[in-house]
Amino acid sequence: MGTSADYSAPPNWSTVKSDVTRNGGHAPTPTKARELVRDYISENGGSDRMSSGRGQLGNGKTARNAARSLGGFVSAVARDGLDTALRNNGLQDLIGKSVTETLLGIVSLCGGSEGDIDSVDARNALSKTMDEVCKDARSPEELETTLTDQMHGDKLGGLMIHYFGNYLFEQFCRVFFGQLVQKHGDVKANSFLNSISDVIKSGLANETVNMDLTKVNWFGREGNQMAQTILKNTLVVFE
């Protein structure tokens, strides 16, 4: 979660800042938590501006690029197998290594290494998503099966929505964590943010893309547009 007051909401966000701070001393109701997420998206420019890179905080480009890279890598695993996908992406040293080491490598590959705030949000969201999706994989073989399974039905779309939901949560945390800790302390701040996480997860639980993503060229214009569309549709759920 966020760690610095330097990342707090802009001064002109006084209404949503006050609302978050006022409610941060306890776990909000799901209705209130959803309202706070809605207000955050609105203050940040709305789903259209945020997904197209014109939001006030974070341009979303890194998040979209990470989603595209993830889509491309998962597609490669399904097509060629995990070992070949790792080798073709310069990660041959991870062949046969533990699931944890392999996931760290995949996150580094797809999330990049840029140090700006938005990139850190995107990378944290990607790491969390991979840990959640692959939590039951205990070996490279099981990891390959889990990743390959994402290409069945609408699962790849679900994976993208899951990732962008985590990205939204990372942004929310980064913006408000400092002021919440300052006002209410670490324990209450984390309890409040867990409620925000829960409402984002529940809001997206049944969302689907309803498009065939198995043949998307994730590294071309099509992939960029698809990532932007899925990010926008993820945010729209809370508007």
Q: What is the pLDDT of residues 122-177, one digit of tens each?
A: 999 999 999 999 999 999 999 999 999 999 989 999 999 999 999 999 999 999 99
Q: What is the pLDDT of residues 55-111, one digit of tens each?
A: 877 667 889 999 999 999 999 999 999 999 999 999 999 999 999 999 999 999 999
| Beta-carbon count within 10 A of 151 CB | 17
Residue 200: closest CA among 229, 228, 173, 227:
173
Token pair belonging to 156: 């790849």
Sorted by sequence, the CB contacts under 8 Å of residue 92 that are 6+ apart come out as 86
pTM of the predicted model as reported, rounded to 2 decimal places: 0.94
The alpha carbon of 43 is separated from its chain's Cα centroid by a whole number of angstroms, namely: 19
71: left (phi over 0), alpha (psi -120 to 50) or beta: alpha
